[in-house]
Amino acid sequence: MIAEDTVFSVLYDKFMFWSDIVGIITFGVLFYSILRYRAKPGSEEFNPDHIEVGTFPVDRHNTRLEIAFYVVPTILIVWLTVLATSSSSVVWDIPADEDSFDVDIVGKQWFWEFDYVEELTWQDDSRITNVNVDWKFGSTTLTINTLGSSAVNATVVQDGGAIDYAIDLESNSTIIDLTSNYYIYQSVKVTDADGNLLHTWEHLPVDHQLSTAAGEHLVIPCDEDIVLTMYSRPHDQSNPAYVGVQHAFWLPQWGVKEDLVPGLEGGTVITFEPDRLGTFDIRCAEYCGLNHAKMVGYIDIVARDGENCDKDVGIKLISDSEGSNGGE
């Protein structure tokens, strides 16, 4: 979901609805009373000495109306409080560990680090790129199908080492003898003759770390409950008395934001469920020092290898610039 689907956006719409209703009734009564009961200077009804601000006219006392002025706003406030409380309960209803995808977020001065508690293997939607990478766990063969694409080269990375392979343009099926090892970082990036990225396949193993200091994005699978556990820690460990500064991890498109509290060993947690491919903003919403403005990043919503993001929104095909994230 993006911003218009979030619980806070729905809550905002409900608050605005009831505010409009109250405003229409209040100003309607106000203007009606002005027009209906106004008395001009010189008329028999005009008596400025009789007007007392904040009280009901003593000669036109209406007990039911006076009670309504107190009861109706009280009911409205109680109703809005119930809405706000129930929405907060939804936000803090953290899914069970076995049903969620967990990532640890570490805020430093002035960048984000993303530590993967679970592995993630993903690739771009082949319906968009016309490229499909088949490289299963333990397989000794990497197959790249490129029928209908302009692919000419594939760069394969295994644990830091990169090797370029030419795409077989005659068969449109390139087979590479290479053993997959899911305990290390692996990626396959397919490009055209001009070096433009067409398709990305990537495996992020457990304990893999990404950092915005290196220009990397947080990569998250779609259609899953995401749990982010966040910590604030100093970049320089030379001073044991220094525990870091306050940050606030903010995902504007999902309407979720939470503080990273220095010295809090258990960290803080937020959860959300993305259902749309794309690259979205990460911001720090808490002033954290002179380079606070540099505390930015991006989150890539991707589909797990062999899956897609059609669960909630129907087939949502997006442009290549949005679909080919690759943490670039």
- Same domain for 229 and 132: yes
**Contact by Cβ (8 Å): 133, 122:** no
Q: Pairing mode, if any, of strands 225-232 and 100-108?
A: parallel
Between CA 112 and CA 1 the distance in angstroms is 23
The answer to the question of residue 148 being in a domain is yes
* 205 in any annotated domain: yes
Q: Which domain holds residue 135?
A: 97-323
| Domain end point (choices 36, 58, 91) | 91
Question: What is the CATH classification number for the domain harbouring 141?
Answer: 2.60.40.420
Mark whether 182 and 291 lie in a shared domain: yes
Q: Are residues 71 and 172 in the same domain?
A: no
Q: What is the pLDDT along the chain (328 residues), one digit of tens a residue?
A: 444 455 666 777 788 888 898 889 889 988 887 887 776 666 666 555 555 666 655 566 677 877 888 898 898 888 888 877 766 665 555 555 567 899 999 999 999 999 999 999 999 999 999 999 999 988 999 999 999 999 999 999 998 899 999 999 999 999 999 999 989 999 999 999 999 999 999 999 999 999 999 999 999 999 888 899 999 998 887 888 788 899 999 988 887 889 999 988 889 988 888 888 899 999 999 999 999 999 999 999 999 998 888 765 433 333 333 334 443 3
Cα distance between the two ends of the chain: 23
The reply to whether 188 and 295 lie within a common domain is: yes
Q: Of 39, 59, 91, at which residue does a domain stop?
A: 91
How many domains does the chain fold into?
2
Check whether residue 105 and residue 123 sit in a common domain: yes
Q: Is residue 328 part of a domain?
A: no
Q: In 3D, which of 325, 313, 315 has the Cα closest to residue 273?
A: 313
Q: Which of 326, 309, 304 shows the shortest CA–CA distance to 120? A: 304
Using CA atoms, how far residue 5 sits from 276, 289, 312, in Å, is 12, 33, 12
Which residues have CB under 8 Å from 140's CB, separation 6+?
A: 177, 178, 179, 180
Task: Say if 63 falls within a structural domain.
Answer: yes
